[in-house]
Structure 1
Amino acid sequence: MLRRDFLRLTALAPLAALSTRGHAVPLSSGMPVEQFPDGRAHRLELKAHGFMLDGKPLQIRSGEMHPARMPAEYWLHRIRMAKAMGLNTISIYLMWNHLEREPGEFDLHTGNRDFVQFIRLCQREGMWVYLRPGPYICGEWDYGGLPPYLLRKPDIRVRRKDDPDYMAAVRRYIDTIAPLIRPLMAYNGGPVLMLQVENEYASFGHDLDYLKQLQALWEGHGIRGPFTISDDLGQLQAQKTYLPGAALGLDGDADFAAAQAIAGEAPVWVGEGYPGWLTHWGDPDFQRGDYAATLRELLQQGRSFNLYVVHGGSNFGFSAGANATGDYSHFEPVITSYDYGAPINERGEATPDYHAFRALLAAHATQPLPEVPAAPPAIRFAAIAPVAHASLWDNLPAPRAVKKPQANELLFAQDHGLVLYRRKIHAAAAALTLDSVRDYATVFRDGHYVDCVSRVQHARLRAGNRVELPAIVDGEASQLDILVDSFGHVGYGQAMADRKGIVGSIRLDHDELEDWDAYSLPLDDGYIRRLKPVITAPSRAGIFFKATLRLDRLGDSYIDMSGWAKGYLWVNGQLLGRYWNLGPQQRLYCPAAWFRHGHNELLILDLHQTVAAPIHGATTLHA
């Protein structure tokens, strides 16, 4: 079952009635003024009736946001927005693959990777932190936060304690970040109240000892908790993976009585309550939610909760993940926007839900809420006309000879981007069959576009892996090119070996084709910097277009790509992400921090377009 299916049953509908059994502690105006992180040591205790901070009841009113999904320049603004809404805690995921791109090569400081700084900003603003460092996080993020380099090992089994390669990588990760987290814990004077062990493990496995080993790794670094897990109640009951002594967070559920029977003397809370929902490419529209009634009841009962998400941000670069069923079918890649229908929208504006939630939270607050911060400035810009800059076909590296197709991770140690397969074939008309394309292939014969194979569309529309090749009348042989583009790796459920490229056979009529030249086109910074410009305008799809945008003032903008087909957009070297006319997203968010006064360079790679379309800037995600 897909993540969206089992959680959505309760995620977006107001709950008819929350279970009142399980010893919730109602808030009242007679409660003492809340404590906030102040640099002194604080003690969070887990009790069956709820959380106790320094011996006094604490209702955790948390909202989730992810430092990796927004520029560091906006961290403080988003934290202040959550505080002004009436929350007292910020929940954050740490995306392992954002911090360690290659084995042993950690970057904990550049761009938006300095999570310690983000947590210190929360403390400075008087906000507690609920930390969710993985190693696995889901979060609709590429590979659920796990580093795709793990997929370069053919037999890797992730999220399993008995796989030595996986566990060695996990230990390296925890060994690296735990010393940074330890001084941030509340009992050491920091703002981190609680740390989650893994995430939604019951949807994947049933090995409780795996969770215990992860907890022991943290404890070995002096992080003594408190710990929590977060899971779907039904799956948790079936898999029996409750971590003894941990707080039990419910995802999209509110049967507190049934959960308390599992948790015993530990608290039960809403680990993920959904004011919105994720959107996939091909959905008819952006997903929305209705959480006000549920939030009202949680506040009335004094239940602790975490809104997933209070602010979503963006899946910049290649970071957007995907969903699929356990047999890798029903592939659903996540769009570039992570607006999520959240009360704070993608560029930091307060939505109607924000104001509704703020009114509810203010009614239960012990002191007046701060003023709502103004949204960052936004700009429009008039249509500009890109021009052809480079051809992908003129920028091929040296090929590698391969007998049969292999996954990109195994063949090139390549996690994202494109791979090209090329060989000669006979000139007759034939049916070309591509088995297990991950995730989108365009087929060319002698440089002429023939058709595409889409793991997303064709799974629904037709068998989808067959392309009819026309005959070439003036030659005995022709060149066959298969250009394969990838979306993010599946990050939820059992389909955790979602390697990219072509992972099956290629057949012409009934004969398997072998002996290919394969080209690695990772679309990383190094590849983009080495692009050789065109001399004459190319006519074959696979063109990099460039546009110059001159700005007198800076602000956030949504770049409208509705006139384009499918590809990638860079602004001043920053990859905003993927666009696709399949929708529903047609505009890509660019924060002001990535624009420059004066000259700005926009680079577009489109897999179908041979003629440029105008692009313009807007102030909203929706047209």
Structure 2
Amino acid sequence: MSMTRSFCHDDSSFLLDGQPYRIFSGEMHYFRIPREYWRHRLQCLRAMGLNTVSTYMPWNLHEPRPGIFDFTGMLDVVAFLRLAAEEGITVILRPGPYICSEWDFGGLPSWLLATPDIKVRCMDQRFLAAVRRFFARVGQETAGLQWHRGGPIILTQVENEYGAFANDRAYMDAMVALVREVGFDGQLYTCDWANPTNLKAGEVAGAVTVANFGSRAHEQIPALRRLRPNQPSMCGEFWAGWFDEWGSKRNGSDDPTPVLTEIRWMLENDTSFNFYMFHGGTTFGLMAGANDYDKYTPDVSSYDFRAPLDESGRPTAKYTALRELLGAHQPAGVTLPAVPAPPLPVIRIAAFALTESASVWDNLPEPVAVAQPVPMEMLGQAYGMILYRTDIGGLGDGELRLVEVHDYAKVFVEGKLVGTLDRRKHERMVKLEGVPTERARLDVLVDTTGRTNFGHKLLDRKGITDRVEYNGLTLMGWQAYRLPLDAAMLAGLRWQASDRPGPAFHRGYFHVERVGDSFLDLRGWSRGVVWVNGHCLSRHWSIGPQRTAYLPGAWLRPGRNEVVVFDLESDGRKPLSGLDAPVLDEVAAPG
């Protein structure tokens, strides 16, 4: 006789199949971890004493173009969820549509920004129609894996920290209705910052309200209980570390003591929790996000987060201490499994040279004629760089003003670099001198970093967002060259043996006898992106603090391996090597 499976709650406890269930969860994202390592990371989670894994779903990766979906490879969320079930781990699913997560545009797809006046996370019908299409596919893929249907999903989130964004109650009600419509008929929840204003703004009927915080559990949880007395208490994101931003010292601490203090209090006071992050992994590709309050601050690619399990999946001092603490709070008769060995060793890669180069100037695509510069999204481009070209011959010397640069521009006149503008520094103007009277080709090459992923400036279009002025006049008549830094662009590069200064791509090869994880040392390079065997590993930037790129051994092969480095500013090729430890806290002196 089979038992009916259920997950719900009473006034004080979550109930799994009718029995009290404390959620000891760890956040890790399948899309930040090579698929070959998923099982190992899940086994590490269980061995630390956790029983649940929490993960977001990134809309921008799963629907890279309207109506075109990808749930393959590292995006095969169903395979990840089934692995969790095989390892005896329950799941918290966070499908968005907005996920924050230091992820470009908070996980929203860039193609939304091709609609000039669109608004997001509200009742804008164009946004809701796009969400409905995505959620229909999310439901098709994952709703059948809820606990009561035989799968591992015990909680499904509605939106994400909405109480820190807006007060559109109709929108939140629409999100609940849509989540239900696509098949999520199990237990729902919302999470928000741990204060009454945010929690009330983000809560919805029928969902458990949980609080996010990184300290003072002894104050935050009692406040949540006063607000929502007829439900279990849970910290939806316990911030076990923090993310890092380009040009700033590394955040957080490796000291386990503060984390142990907070977790111990929650263990002793009947509180469920979710480590954010248990294992951060890497924001591969060009997906790292940014913040923009008074200053635009883009995030690095490493998502190490000073988490219990580090970027490459190795246990830290936090992991060891938490395993000891959580081991003493397991259900009667449960003994923690052994910590699994890493799937591959860490290796060093001897220094090697890059031997071919491809200048951006020699590899320009066909341009698009535009009256004025437009953001790349208006031209169907999602990421990478964009070049704007016009002629200012006969206009004389003067001030060139870009309104605005998103995010980092190199300005050239007749091929000569005349200025650099950095959005982080609110730079918009370059003085031009000696402008030729006849022909004077003006090139503005804009490199991008992440779109804002939190707050009220989410509509962060890339390139030149409005106009270019010269001596007060708006310059008209431009050509725009799309440089997306994607696989198709790399495949079409024309390589040559001679070295070329930036902006340029550089290619070389290294050999390994056995594969293993490593960390490419990019010190000596300036600013750009690195690929190995076609995998886009990371952005790199000499300002730090991240100076290495995590290279998963699962993406290597015995024998020859290909590396491509794009660098915007370097004077030519530099040697590369692989280290056996990352460099994540090396900030360049202000210059």
TM normalised by structure 1 equals: 0.89
> Contact 1:41/1:190 (CA < 8 Å) preserved in 2?
no
Distance in 2, Cα, partners of 1:300 & 1:210: 37
Distance 1:204 1:435, change over 3 A: same
Partner of 1:46: 9
Structure 1 runs of 4+ aligned residues shifted over 6 Å read none
Match of 2:296 in 1: 331
Query: Is 1:70 the counterpart of 2:33 in the alignment?
Result: yes
CA distance in structure 1 between the partners assigned to 2:411 and 2:90 by the alignment: 53
Runs of 5+ unmatched residues, structure 1: 1-38
Q: Which of these residues, 12, 18, 43, is aligned with residue 55 of structure 1?
A: 18
Measure, in 1, the Cα distance between the counterparts of 2:162 and 2:35.
30
1:442 aligns with 2:442: no
Letter of the 2:236 partner, please give it: G
User: What's the CA shift string for 1:375-418, capped at 9, x where partnerless?
Assistant: 231111111121342111111111122221111101x1111111
Q: How far apart, CA to CA, are the structure 2 residues paired with 1:293 and 1:234? A: 21
CA contact (8 A) 2:357 2:498 kept: no
Aligned mate of 2:161, from 182, 186, 200:
200
- 1:86 pairs with 2:53: no
Structure 1 residue 371: Cα displacement: 0.8
Find the counterpart in structure 1 of residue 581 from structure 2.
620
Q: Which residue is equivalent to 2:338? A: 371
Any conservation in 2 of the 1:244–1:263 contact (CA below 8 Å)? Answer: no
Residue matched to 1:414: 381
2:354, 2:221 → 1: CA distance? 56
| Displacement of 1:264 | 4.2
In 2, the alpha carbon distance for the partners of 1:286 and 1:204 equals 24
Equivalent residue, structure 1, for 2:587: none
Contact kept, 8 Å, 2:499 with 2:572, in 1: the verdict is no
Of the three residues 181, 186, 204, the one matched with 1:225 is: 186
Deviation for aligned residue 1:455: 1.1
In 1: Cα distance, 2:490 partner to 2:223 partner: 54
Tell me how far apart the structure 1 counterparts of residues 183 and 472 of structure 2 sit (CA, whole Å). 61
Per the alignment, residue 605 of structure 1 pairs with: 566
Equivalent position to 2:538, from 569, 577, 599? 577
Structure 1 residues 256, 423: closer, same or farther in 2, change over 3 A? same
Q: CA deviation at 1:509?
A: 2.9
What is the letter of the counterpart of residue 98 of structure 2?
A: Y
State yes or no: 1:517 paired with 2:479: yes
TM-aligned CA deviation for residue 149 of structure 1: 0.9
Q: Secondary structure at the match of 2:195?
A: helix
Is the Cα–Cα contact under 8 Å of residues 286 and 584 in structure 1 kept in the other structure?
A: no
Q: Is 1:309 matched up with 2:277?
A: yes
Superimposed CA distance per residue, residues 5-63 of structure 1 (whole angstroms, 9 cap, x where no aligned partner): xxxxxxxxxxxxxxxxxxxxxxxxxxxxxxxxxx9752122223121222221110000
The 1:548/1:286 distance shift into structure 2, 3 A limit, reads: farther
Whether the aligned pair in 1 keeps the contact of 2:90 and 2:154 (CA below 8 Å) is yes
Equivalent residue letter for 2:475: L
- 1:332-360 per-residue CA deviation (whole Å, 9 max, x = no partner) reads 11101000010000000000010011111
Asked if 2 retains the 8 angstrom alpha-carbon contact of 1:84 and 1:372, the reply is yes
Gaps of 5+ in 2: 585-591
Q: Is the 8 A contact 1:246 1:266 kept in 2?
A: no
String of CA shifts for 1:67-99, please: whole Å, max 9, x gaps.
000110000000000000000000111111111
2:499 touches 2:573 (CA, 8 Å); kept in 1? no
- Aligned CA RMSD, in angstroms, stands at 1.8
Give how far 1:447 is off.
Answer: 1.2
Deviation of residue 239 (structure 1)? 5.7
Q: Deviations over 1:530-574 (max 9, x none)?
A: 111237543x52111111111111001100101100001011111
Which one is further off, 560-569 or 243-252?
A: 243-252
Query: Of 538, 547, 568, which aligns to 2:529?
Result: 568
User: Residue 347 of structure 1 corresponds to which residue in structure 2?
Assistant: 312
Find the aligned partners of 1:182 and 1:301 in 2 and give their Cα distance.
Answer: 32
Q: Is 1:384 equivalent to 2:352 in the alignment?
A: yes
2:263 corresponds to 1:298: no
The correspondence for 2:209, drawn from 248, 255, 261, is 248
Question: Which residues of 2 match residues 71-150 of structure 1 at below 5 A?
Answer: 71-109=34-72, 111-150=73-112
Give, in whole Å, the separation in 1 of the partners of 2:439 and 2:385.
25
Segment drifting more, 268-277 vs 422-431:
422-431
- Residue 416 of structure 1 aligns with an amino acid whose one-letter code is Y
Question: Counterpart in 1 of 2:508?
Answer: 547
* Distance across 2 between alignment mates of 1:297 and 1:312: 24
Deviates more, 1:583-592 or 1:164-173: 164-173
Report the residue type matching 2:380 in the other structure: A
CA contact (8 A) 1:48 1:260 kept: no
Cα offsets for 1:135-176 (capped at 9, x unmatched): 111111111111111111111111112x11111111111111
Equivalent position of 1:477 in the other structure:
439
Q: 1:196 & 1:441 partners in 2: Cα distance?
A: 39
Q: Distance in 2 between matches of 1:590 and 1:237?
A: 39
Match of 1:183 among 144, 151, 155: 144
Tell me the equivalent position of 2:238. Answer: 273
SS of the counterpart of 1:298? helix
Higher mean displacement: 486-495 or 253-262: 253-262
Task: State the shift of 1:286 in Å.
Answer: 4.5
**Contact 2:166/2:201 (8 A) holds in 1:** no
Residue 480 to residue 567, structure 1, CA distance change in 2 (3 Å): same
How many residue pairs are counted as aligned between the two chains? 572
Q: 1:81 to 1:430 in 2, by over 3 A?
A: same
Q: Once the 2 structures are TM-superposed, how far is the Cα of residue 518 of structure 1 from its aligned partner?
A: 1.2
CA deviations 1:290-326 (Å, max 9, x no partner) are 411101111111210000010001010111111112x
Give the TM-score normalised by the residue count of structure 2: 0.93
2:114 maps to 1:152: yes
Equivalent position amino acid for 2:107 in 1 = G
Identity of aligned residues (%): 39
How far did residue 429 of structure 1 move?
A: 3.6
Distance in 2 between the 1:587 and 1:482 partners?
29
Structure 1 stretch displaced more, 193-202 or 44-53: 44-53
Distance 1:241 1:577 in 2: 34
